[in-house]
Amino acid sequence: MAITKLDQMLEALKAKSRKRLVAAFANDSHTIEAVAEAIKHQLIEGILVGDTATIKTVCREMGIDASIFRIVQEANEGKAAAKAVELINNGEGDILMKGLVSTDRYMRVILDKEKGLMDPGAVLTHVTVIENKLYHKLIICGDVAILPAPDLKQKIVLAGYLIQTAQALGIETPKVAVVAATEQMLPGMPACVDAAILSKMSDRGQIKGAIIEGPLGLDVAIDRESAEIKKIKSVVAGDADCLLFHNIEAGNVFYKTNTKLAGAELGAMVVGARVPAVLSSRGDSMKTKLYSIALAALVSK
């Protein structure tokens, strides 16, 4: 059965074996609290890489039992991030999570050509799952955070990750809308051209596991009435599971509009490395952090 609400991920994971999450430089209360909450919900096993004394002090101040974690000592920020990646590469973890380490250093250790988590030719991108009470199911979308202007090859990879995420959520054949400013095929608009190519590749089985259609305007992709008014005949229109955006501006505006104006909740992760990576910020709600960990655990192999 397809997961239609984010909190359903928590129940789905209880029936699966626990994945091991490694938090890089987990010296801060935000990371420790999020990992502890995920352990409480029986989603994961938690490994905290950071300064042991600091972690235990934070745990004590927050009333968290430090014994629920495996703590790996490394007081230096950069070395702690590198150690977290090393644990993953040694087979000791299934999910990476950003702790107090800066985003730049976090991404650098993932992308490191010798000791990082990237296989040759892999593309690092970002997948977000949004629960908006005005839509009848979850919206899986990308890229809103990493790829500024994905080319066609990168869009093909991104489509694959959107499809894989949807399937991990129980959607057997997800419907993918390639979003543009219009559903008309306008050769002068690169978004329309790429969308048409992706759609045809899906028709021919070159991209498997989904129904991909585009170009589709956002209104047509998520609102059946708009599709009917515009006389768009499509199984995706008004019922899209996944939205693939032309560039980061379009994706990021959609993401922030949902969270800031529509009160939507979400889970998000970085994909393309050997394991999914959680890139949460201090400003994220506890629900967002928990859902992001749950999402990463669901897609982790």
DSSP letters spanning 176-238: EEEE-S-SS--TT-HHHHHHHHHHHHHHTTSS-SSEEEEEE-HHHHH-HHHHHHTT---SSTT
In angstroms, rounded to a whole number, what is the distance separating the alpha carbons of residues 235 and 222? 11
Residue 268 — very low, low, confident or very high, per pLDDT cuts 50/70/90?
very high
User: pLDDT tens-digit profile of 128-161?
Assistant: 999 999 999 999 999 999 999 999 999 999 999 9
pLDDT at 74: 97
H-type alpha helices, the chain: 8-14, 29-40, 52-62, 77-89, 103-111, 152-168, 190-203, 218-222, 224-229, 248-260, 286-299
Assigned CATH for 125-260? 3.40.718.10
Residue-level pLDDT at 283 = 74
* Residue 285 pLDDT grade (very low, low, confident, very high; cuts 50, 70, 90): confident
The average pLDDT across 271-293 equals 90
d(CA 201, CA 64): 51
What's the pLDDT tens digit per position in 208-232?
A: 999 999 999 999 999 999 999 999 9
In this prediction, residue 301 carries a pLDDT of 85
* pLDDT in the model for residue 249: 97
Question: What value does the mean pLDDT of the chain take?
Answer: 95
pLDDT band for position 281 (cuts 50, 70, 90):
confident
Confidence tier at 111 by pLDDT (50, 70, 90): very high
Tell me what the mean pLDDT of segment 43-67 comes to. Answer: 97
Give the pLDDT of residue 49: 98
Q: What is the mean pLDDT of residues 244-261?
A: 96
The pLDDT-based confidence of 280 (bands split at 50, 70, 90) is: confident
The model's pLDDT over 56-107, given as tens digits with 9 standing for 90+, comes to 999 999 999 999 999 999 999 999 999 999 999 999 999 999 999 999 999 9
Segments making up each domain of the chain, as ranges: 8-120+274-299, 125-260
Spatial distance between the Cα atoms of 26 and 123, rounded to a whole number of angstroms: 26
pLDDT at residue 284, rounded to an integer: 82
Give me the amino acid identity at 224. R
Where does the pLDDT of residue 50 fall: very low under 50, low under 70, confident under 90, or very high at 90 and above?
very high
The tokens of 264 are what?
Answer: 């939507």
Residue 167's SS3 state is helix
Cα(49)–Cα(32) distance, rounded to whole angstroms? 11
Q: What is the dihedral of CA 47, 97, 37, 62, to 10 degrees?
A: 80
Q: Which two tokens stand for residue 218?
A: 């956002």
Is the CB of residue 184 less than 8 Å from the CB of residue 215? yes
Residue corresponding to tokens 């608009």: 189
| CATH number, span 8-120+274-299 | 3.40.50.10950
Q: What is the DSSP letter of 281?
A: -
